Amino acid sequence: MSSALAFQPAALPDRPAAPCRPALRVLEGGRAPARLAAQATFRRRRVGAALVALAVVVALTLLAITALARIAGGIPSPAAGELSPTLGAATGTPGVAARTVVVQAGDTLWSIAATAAPTADIRATIDEIVARNGGEQIVVGQELELPVT
């Protein structure tokens, strides 16, 4: 009993057609429009924050420079007037005329020295005024002896 079995390929049933898919559309940069709008808003906010931070840094820098200049005596107040030079006797040397000034409200050693000797080094002029008048403190109405230029 030998019977040979013969294998024959079986026929596959026909497949149903694939469902129709919608056509693909290409988006700008491969991103959805809502995502692009969100990124643009984020960029604008970031630039705005950077500008505000820059303005704050500039304002604080200017305030610090102004404060340091006022501490150093470099910026006279708006009430500072012109020097009122008068002739007076020089201390220590009889017969030599010296230039003096009466301190006005808002005057600083820096403003007085800048007006007294505009072409000279202001720091050296301040040192001479301090040496001639016995100290760095000045008060309104005080008469300061200025170096002769």
Asked if the model's pLDDT at residue 56 lies above 70, the reply is yes
Using the CB atoms, write b or e for 102-117: b if 16+ within 10 Å.
Answer: ebbeebbbbbbbbbbb
Question: Does one domain contain both 137 and 93?
Answer: yes
Q: Which tops the pLDDT comparison, 12 or 63? A: 63
Question: Does one domain contain both 93 and 63?
Answer: no
pLDDT digits (tens, 9 = 90+) for 64-88: 988 888 787 665 555 554 544 444 4
Q: For position 94, what pLDDT does the model report?
A: 46
Q: How far, in Å, CA of 77 to CA of 70, rounded?
A: 9
Question: Does one domain contain both 61 and 92?
Answer: no
The answer to whether the beta carbons of residues 88 and 98 sit under 8 Å apart is yes
Question: Does one domain contain both 99 and 126?
Answer: yes
Question: Does one domain contain both 67 and 94?
Answer: no
pLDDT digits (tens, 9 = 90+) for 111-125: 998 888 888 888 999
Question: Does one domain contain both 67 and 90?
Answer: no
Domain extent for 66: 30-72
Specify if 116 maps to a domain.
yes
- Chosen domain end from 45, 72, 99: 72
